[in-house]
Structure 1
Amino acid sequence: MRNYEDDFALDDLLSPAHQARLLELLGKLSGASFALNAHDDGASRPLEFNLDTLGWLKAELPAEQHQAAVRLYELVLFYAGKYRLAANLHHDATEASYLELQQKHAAVQASEEKYKQLAQRLTQQVEEQVRVIKKAQQELYESARLRAVGQLAAGIAHEINTPIGFIGSNLRVANDYLDELEASLPDSHETAMLFEDFHALLDESSSGTKRIARIVSDLKTFSNIDQADFAACDINALITTACRLIQAEQNQVLPLSLRLGELPEVAGYPAKLSQAFYNVLDNATKSLEAGGQIRVASRVQDNALEVLIEDEGCGMPDDILARAFEPFFTTRDVGAGSGLGLSVTRDILVAHRGEVRMESRLGEGTCVTLRIPVN
């Protein structure tokens, strides 16, 4: 549409059909024929609009009637021009409003996108904070557990080592006294049997005191008492300690076999590594239902120490295996497990620049491989 400031042509004001209709009506009113010409032929009168000549009206009428017809035609053009101007103004106003609405819509969309991105960032930050909180809870739980074990081991070491020392010393003295007493009594079958049983009782008691002392020593190793936080670690010794603790917990009836290779020492946290081995062994123990064994092996493979703990237990389906390392995820009954064992084990290995791999088949067992780089 033309702008209202532009000059109008005749066809802008009236369409050719309307022009023909208007000429027809003028002819019926006057009884004469009318024609529109683009140029003056001497018998036509000018049609003006806004001081511009838009055409020439020709009619076979007296001058006064001819001029009246021209004025009537110009009046129609005047109101047609007013309509066109109003239409143009309305169009321009509508177009301006539409452009303004478009700009506002674009601003709203930009704002919506901005807040959407902000919401996504906030969601990511919340999720990150939740992960940090869960990890902190996990570390606090693990730290509290290690402290509790350490305090327990320290208490056991202090309370048991001294009386165990007394008992061991007294048993040795009792053995000496028994030898002297046996030498001073008459030799007879009954006396020999009595002294043989007595020696057996003393030897069994001495073996029991050594076993108690070994358990206390294992607890001290497990809880890292008397060792620096970061030290050279004998992985085989830590595995053996963890195995003995598991066996002691199971009253020495656990079907467990060891096949330990020669390993170099690695720098690390002995207590945490012991905890990692213990956690995996504990899971393996609880997976044994109807018989089966646990096999533990160590070796050097691809410039890394590998500890393989394999059980012949119930195994896991793929959906459970995929979530095995999730914190607080457990398939045990409420109160029977925290769901942190494997998660803590993974974090301990990661802290030593290592990794944990797990393979399992339902009904066939599970194999956990713990890898620690040599360098």
Structure 2
Amino acid sequence: MSNLDDDLGLDDLLTPRHKARLLHLLGTLGGTPVELVEEASEAVYPLEFNLDTLAWLKTELPVNQRRAAAQLFELLLFYAGKYRLAANLHLDVTEASYIELQQQNTALQASEARYKKLSEQLQQQVEEQVKVIEQTQQQLYESARLRAVGQLAAGIAHEINTPIGFIGSNLRVAGDYLDEFEVSQLVDGDSAGLFEDFRALLGESRSGAQRISNIVADLRTFSNIDQAEFSACDLNALLTTACHLLQAEHHQTLSIELNLDELPKLAGYPARLSQAFYNVLDNAAKALDEGGSIQVESRLHEGVLEIDIEDDGCGMSEKVLARVFEPFFTTRNVGAGTGLGLSVTRDILAAHHGEVLLKSQPGQGTRVTLRFQVG
């Protein structure tokens, strides 16, 4: 029922206490008791409000005074009704304003929730874009590095192979001439020693020239020169080449033990796989203490090609191990590393449907396992 309903009863307009006080006052003024009754009878006068009879005023007063008392009562009821109407109107307006505020608050909360969700979505998109940018930077960096290595290897192959061929050929001819000269001449004891030393020098020179030739061949293999970009890869050959290059970089002082089983060829990108192997080997070499060594094993296990590269170096803590695949994360000094080695290796293996597994403890070395699915 609306608070503006004017169909009010006597109890709605006056409280029992007020009714009793009003009747007492009317009785005092008239000099005789006044009371309210619910049924018409003699010596009563109707009390009306909005054309409705609410009750009857009973008193022994003369008719004129009885009418005056009833009219006074009705006047008070009229103003009580107006007050009740104004109060109810104020209450309805207040409730309507409160409901409107509640609706506005609900709409505001819904709008805030939508904007919050939109903000979260935008933040997620920003994070995804940042990851894409980082990956793109990483790929550009590695592509530039591979191109630089390829150009370097091509230059070395072009500039060194020919003179090394001349040197090797000339050293062999010089050795033949030395043999002929020694046979054709009468050689005393002192001259025999001189011929022996000279022949040893020629042998060392031929060995050095062959070593340079082998390094150039390893660089050509490492950088994918003269090979199709995507081809059947001999993982053992790529792994051996990466080991040779790393040993050459460390002036043949690095101890690497190879234990390679026969493996089927893997379809892939030789230069990228070489880069992945070299990254892991380089990390292992930098983790070694003096006198440390690296063990490299390959095997075919239950249809999976596995390569283990294990060092007995400083190892890694769980905190470092949890972040090793993050781009640009490195524990080395500024300028000593880019922090991309393992991140790039993981991406290269992912491109070949492979995975990288790490196991390490501080002071107990690190084992990196590279796994490739066959077929």
Match of 1:53 in 2: 53
The DSSP-based 3-state class of the residue aligned with 1:359 is: strand
Equivalent residue letter for 1:192: A
* Residue of structure 2 in register with 1:7 after alignment: 7
1:330 positional shift: 0.5
The one-character-per-residue Cα deviations of 1:96-118 (angstroms, maximum 9, x if unpaired) are: 11111111111111111111011
Q: Output the TM-score relative to the length of structure 1.
A: 0.98
Q: Deviations over 1:139-186 (max 9, x none)?
A: 111111111111111111111001001111111211221122122111
CA drift of 1:199 comes to: 2.0
* Runs of at least 5 residues in structure 2 that lack an aligned partner in the other structure: none
CA distance in 2, matches of 1:103, 1:329: 52
- 1:255 Cα shift? 1.4
RMSD: 1.2
* Residue of structure 1 in register with 2:105 after alignment: 105
- State the match for 1:278 in structure 2: 278
Please tell me the residue identity of whatever aligns with 1:364.
Q
User: Map of 1:1-375 to 2, 5 A cutoff?
Assistant: 3-375=3-375
Query: 2:289–2:314: 8 Å Cα contact kept in structure 1?
Result: yes
The CA deviation string for residues 39-80 of structure 1, in whole angstroms up to 9 with x for no partner, is 112321110011111111101100011001000000010000
For residues 346 and 234 of structure 2, the distance between their equivalents in structure 1, rounded to whole angstroms, comes to 20
Q: In structure 1, what residue type is equivalent to 2:257?
A: S
State the secondary structure of the residue aligned to 2:215: helix
The percent of aligned pairs where both chains have the same amino acid is 67
Equivalent pair of 2:6/2:85 in contact (CA under 8 Å): no
Q: Helix, strand or coil for the counterpart of 2:307?
A: strand
| Structure 1 Cα separation of the partners of residues 129 and 168 of structure 2 | 55
| Offset, 1:191 | 3.4
Within 2, Cα distance between the matches of 1:41 and 1:226?
129
Q: Which runs of structure 1 show a deviation greater than 4 angstroms over 4 or more consecutive aligned residues?
A: none
* Deviation for aligned residue 1:138: 0.6
TM-score with structure 2 setting the length: 0.98
User: Residue deviations 1:293-317, cap 9 Å, x none?
Assistant: 1111101123111110000101111
Q: Measure how far apart 1:2 and its partner are.
A: 5.1
Cα separation, 2, equivalents of 1:249 and 1:290: 16
CA distance in 2, matches of 1:165, 1:326: 45
Deviation per CA, 1:214-256: give whole Å up to 9, x if none: 1011111111111111110000000100000010000001011
Structure 1: stretches of 5+ with no match in the other structure: none
Report the secondary structure of 1:306's partner residue. Answer: strand
Structure 2 Cα separation of the partners of residues 290 and 177 of structure 1: 45
Instruction: Find the aligned partners of 1:4 and 1:123 in 2 and give their Cα distance.
Output: 53
CA contact (8 A) 2:222 2:271 kept: yes
Say which SS state the counterpart of residue 299 (structure 2) adopts: strand
Q: Tell me the amino acid that sits aligned with residue 127 of structure 1.
A: E
* Letter paired with 1:150: G
| Count of residue correspondences | 375
Q: Offset of 1:195 from its aligned partner?
A: 2.4
State the 1:187 CA deviation.
Answer: 4.3
